[in-house]
A and B are shown apart, each in its own frame.
Chain A
Amino acid sequence: MVALDALDRRLIDAYQRDLPLCERPFAVMAERLGESEAVVLSRLERLAAAGVLSRVGPVFDHARAGASLLAAVAVPEAERDAVAARISESVGVNHNYAREHRYNLWFVMTAADEQQLDARLDALEAELGHPVLRLPMIEAFHIDLGFPIPWYELERA
């Protein structure tokens, strides 16, 4: 695991929720943290390079920016990796997980609109030769705000 100091943690804790949409957002962050803009930027870069931050930027509502859908296929274990590679390469796929279940490959297909989404899924289904279970979101109960990170507990682990 990457070693994080107090400033790294404060940065992550404070900005998991909201980065100000002002002209110099990192300068405002820096001021709040009692640091310089340059320090904040270099920290963020380091955390991103280390993979601790997956990105600094907008989090889009999946349901409102374009169209997307969770999908799954059940494939024999021997074929799994080959099928997974074809799914990952397919245009529009942004997540692809192998999971321990008869439906063993789970992915998110995205598109500009519903029509393109259906077309992409139809084409992929035909290419894979396996039926694709389509699980569109009906209702989101969670307003994805990130969740508080219990740093001390993580240290003990």
Chain B
Amino acid sequence: MSVSTCPSEPAASNPPRQDGLDVLDRAIVVATQAGLPLVPDPWRAVGEPLGLSGEAVRERMVRMQAAGVIRRVAAVPNHYRLGYVANGMTVWDVDDAHVDRLGREVARLPGVSHCYRRPRHLPEWPYNLFVMLHGRTREEVEQQAERLCELLGAACRDHRILYSSRILKKTGLRLAGRSDRRGQMR
């Protein structure tokens, strides 16, 4: 009883897990999450150890992108290295009745790289909106936070800026695999 859509590939007959990825998709994720090999045909290079053609790798990546598993395939800059050394995780206690609408507005402001709603853990953690701000200085981050404060208005009861004092580990890795060796310390 196979649920695979590619019966020609025996390993893919494992049922997909909750994220809809089969064994070969996951192998491609593991092989590419630290970056593509910088060679003329990176898909072929990724596929070779997996027993897949470059074409098959590319088709699967197109499918994963269409399914939203891959957001984009891109050159990912290290903003810290570009001079954005002030990285502030701002956390906001926003009225639940308005947080979804306001979250969408906040996400459009310049300097915002991530904007997520997360659960509160009362009493010690009252914040339900997380907004990552990037600036070259703390003053710049504070100005951005000020703008957010104005936008949120009375719906916001409290907020904090948590600056990173040290980056202890940062990788783009999502799934464990043999490529799990590119953890950078800074």
Q: Which residues of A contact B (CB under 8 A)?
A: 1-2, 11-12, 15-19, 21-27, 37, 41, 44-45, 47-48, 50-62, 64-66, 68, 70, 84-85, 87-88, 91-101, 103, 105-107, 110, 112-114, 133-147, 149, 154, 157
Q: A58-B71, A94-B183, A99-B164 are in contact. List 11 more A-B contacts (CB 8 A).
A: A19-B73, A41-B39, A48-B35, A64-B20, A65-B174, A95-B170, A97-B170, A98-B165, A99-B163, A106-B89, A139-B116
The answer to whether A56 touches B74 (Cβ under 8 A) is yes
The answer to whether B40 touches A58 (Cβ under 8 A) is no
B69 within 8 A of A: yes
Leading 7 A-B pairs by shortest Cβ distance: A55-B35, A141-B103, A15-B75, A142-B107, A141-B107, A96-B169, A98-B166
The answer to whether B115 touches A110 (Cβ under 8 A) is no
Q: In the bound complex, what is the Cα–Cα distance between A2 and B72 (angstroms)?
A: 26
The answer to whether B40 touches A37 (Cβ under 8 A) is yes
The answer to whether A157 touches B167 (Cβ under 8 A) is no
Tell me how many residue pairs across A and B have CB atoms closer than 8 Å. 259
Q: A2 contacts which chain B residues (CB < 8 A)?
A: 81
Task: Supply 12 A–B pairs (Cβ within 8 Å), ascending by A.
Answer: A17-B72, A57-B36, A59-B74, A59-B76, A61-B71, A70-B118, A84-B168, A100-B163, A101-B160, A112-B17, A143-B71, A154-B82
The answer to whether A66 touches B36 (Cβ under 8 A) is no
Q: A135 contacts which chain B residues (CB < 8 A)?
A: 118-119, 121, 125, 130
Chain B min CB distance to A68 (Å): 7
B151 within 8 A of A: no
* A-side interface mostly: mixed
The answer to whether B176 touches A53 (Cβ under 8 A) is no
B70 within 8 A of A: yes
Q: In the bound complex, what is the Cα–Cα distance between A134 and B67 (angstroms)?
A: 27
Q: In the bound complex, what is the Cα–Cα distance between A59 and B92 (angstroms)?
A: 27
Chain A min CB distance to B89 (Å): 7
The answer to whether B163 touches A58 (Cβ under 8 A) is no
Q: Which residue in chain A gives the minimum CB-CB distance to B172?
A: A55
Q: Which residue in chain A gives the minimum CB-CB distance to B62?
A: A21
Q: In the bound complex, what is the Cα–Cα distance between A110 and B44 (angstroms)?
A: 28
Q: In the bound complex, what is the Cα–Cα distance between A133 and B130 (angstroms)?
A: 14
The answer to whether A58 touches B136 (Cβ under 8 A) is no
Q: Which residue in chain A gives the minimum CB-CB distance to B140?
A: A157
The answer to whether B162 touches A106 (Cβ under 8 A) is yes
The answer to whether A140 touches B136 (Cβ under 8 A) is no
B5 within 8 A of A: no
Q: In the bound complex, what is the Cα–Cα distance between A96 and B167 (angstroms)?
A: 6
The answer to whether B75 touches A11 (Cβ under 8 A) is yes
The answer to whether A138 touches B118 (Cβ under 8 A) is yes
Chain B min CB distance to A143 (Å): 7
Q: B119 contacts which chain A residues (CB < 8 A)?
A: 135-136, 138
Interface residues of B in 26-62 (CB under 8 A from A): 26, 29, 32-36, 38-43, 54-55, 58, 61-62
The answer to whether B41 touches A24 (Cβ under 8 A) is yes
Q: A59: which of B39, B72, B136 is its contact (CB, 8 Å)?
A: B72
Q: B124 contacts which chain A residues (CB < 8 A)?
A: 133
